[in-house]
């Protein structure tokens, strides 16, 4: 993997970034969060590879940076991405053996279409120091409907969103048994008929789930992040809205993720940093360009925060 000569020397875990406390901060400003529309993050079990998504006029694809000889490489488009189709939403299984992602590439035997004509989960297996060739997830995970935002557990249970062309849109769960995924089942939550849940991260132990939500209560007028915990009866608890430090008005929640070590919650947000100068009458073009090249400009960026906020929300009855 190549890097430009002026790319900064970054060493240590998490691109050498200063870890956050209970107040979210931008993750790796200027390195990962750059002002481009950036969301979704995934890491290998050892934390030495970080993948993230960027959607821009030039590419909608997955980037990767690796810790090589104790120095992080400049992020580049991953080898399996950038082929002309849209790729998004990377996820690596907790055991590190499977890589899932959303792709708009055409299934075998189908004609390639532009944009998100196809929305399917593709997967790869660990192969040496890299990954196998991508393949479409087998039926019954793949169907005539759209499937996206994969997330998996220690037991290789696969969670994903299925968008209903013919059925109900929601979060689905597929058990892995005897080398194959079984028929997915929609997960039940106490939400109104108008409510919509999508893009859920499930913890490796399958004891909690963080989801994006719309129209599930009177406070949920934008896309917000909610959490649910697995009860002793094996059902999902009532959804709890994450606090205002996570859900700012109009943020457009899209992608939650917890680091493999369980220490940090990552999430995408399109919030605007009030410290950035506002574009108004008399603002120079140079400053407009500069404002568009920094995270917090109103485009999606990746933020991180201590995962202690998750435990602070866990109800006593499911503790």
55 found inside a domain: yes
For 215-219, the CB contacts below 8 A with 24+ separation are 216/191, 216/192, 217/241
3-state secondary structure (DSSP) of residue 169:
coil
3-state secondary structure (DSSP) of residue 292:
helix
This prediction has a pTM of 0.94
CA pair distance 162, 225, nearest whole angstrom: 18
| Predicted pLDDT of residue 58 | 86
On whether the CB atoms of residues 92 and 103 are closer than 8 A, the answer is no
Alpha helices in the chain (DSSP H): 285-292, 308-313
Domain count, the chain: 1
| Predicted pLDDT of residue 2 | 46
On whether the CB atoms of residues 84 and 99 are closer than 8 A, the answer is no
| Predicted pLDDT of residue 167 | 67
CA pair distance 228, 186, nearest whole angstrom: 15
96 found inside a domain: yes
C-beta atoms surrounding 195 within 10 Å = 16
Rg (CA), the chain: 19
- Widest pairwise Cα distance in the chain: 66
258 found inside a domain: yes
| Residue 106, C-beta contacts closer than 8 angstroms, at least 6 positions apart | 85, 112, 113, 118
Q: Which domain holds residue 172?
A: 24-318
CA pair distance 101, 94, nearest whole angstrom: 15
Q: Which residue positions in the chain have pLDDT lower than 50?
A: 1-3
181, β-bridge pairs: 176
3-state secondary structure (DSSP) of residue 201:
strand
210 found inside a domain: yes
State pLDDT tens for residues 217-234. 888 888 999 999 999 999
| Predicted pLDDT of residue 290 | 83
C-beta atoms surrounding 16 within 10 Å = 15
CA pair distance 20, 35, nearest whole angstrom: 20
| Predicted pLDDT of residue 166 | 66
**Residue whose pair of structure tokens reads 């993230």 in the numeric block:** 52
CA pair distance 8, 99, nearest whole angstrom: 28
CATH of the domain at 298: 2.120.10.30
| Predicted pLDDT of residue 5 | 66
CA pair distance 175, 158, nearest whole angstrom: 6
């Amino acid at each position: 993997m190549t890097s430009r000569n002026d790319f900064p020397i970054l060493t240590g875990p998490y691109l050498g970034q200063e870890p956050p406390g209970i107040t979210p901060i931008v993750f790796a400003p200027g390195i990962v969060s750059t002002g481009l529309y950036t969301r979704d993050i995934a890491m290998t079990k050892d934390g030495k590879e970080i993948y993230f998504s960027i959607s821009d006029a030039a590419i909608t694809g997955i980037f990767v940076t690796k810790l090589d000889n104790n120095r992080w490489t400049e992020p580049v488009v991953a080898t399996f991405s950038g082929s002309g189709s849209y790729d998004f939403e990377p996820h690596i299984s907790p055991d590190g053996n499977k890589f899932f992602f959303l792709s708009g590439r055409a299934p075998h035997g189908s004609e390639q279409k532009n944009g998100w004509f196809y929305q399917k989960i593709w997967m790869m297996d660990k192969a040496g120091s890299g990954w196998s060739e991508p393949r479409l997830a087998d039926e019954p995970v793949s169907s005539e409907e759209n499937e996206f935002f994969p997330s998996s557990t220690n037991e290789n249970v696969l969670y994903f969103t299925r968008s209903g062309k013919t059925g109900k849109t929601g979060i689905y769960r597929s058990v892995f048994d005897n080398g194959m995924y079984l028929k997915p089942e929609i997960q039940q939550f106490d939400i109104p008929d108008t409510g919509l849940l999508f893009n859920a991260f499930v913890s490796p132990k399958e004891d909690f789930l963080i989801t994006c939500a719309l129209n599930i209560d009177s406070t949920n007028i934008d896309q917000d992040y909610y959490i649910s915990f697995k009860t002793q009866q094996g059902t999902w608890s009532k959804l709890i809205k994450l606090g205002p430090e996570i859900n700012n008005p109009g943020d457009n929640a899209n992608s939650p993720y917890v680091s493999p070590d369980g220490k940090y919650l990552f999430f995408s947000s399109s919030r605007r940093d009030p410290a950035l100068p506002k574009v108004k009458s008399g603002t120079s073009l140079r400053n407009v360009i500069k404002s568009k090249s920094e995270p917090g400009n109103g485009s999606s960026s990746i933020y991180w925060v201590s995962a202690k906020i998750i435990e602070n929300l866990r109800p006593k009855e499911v503790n």
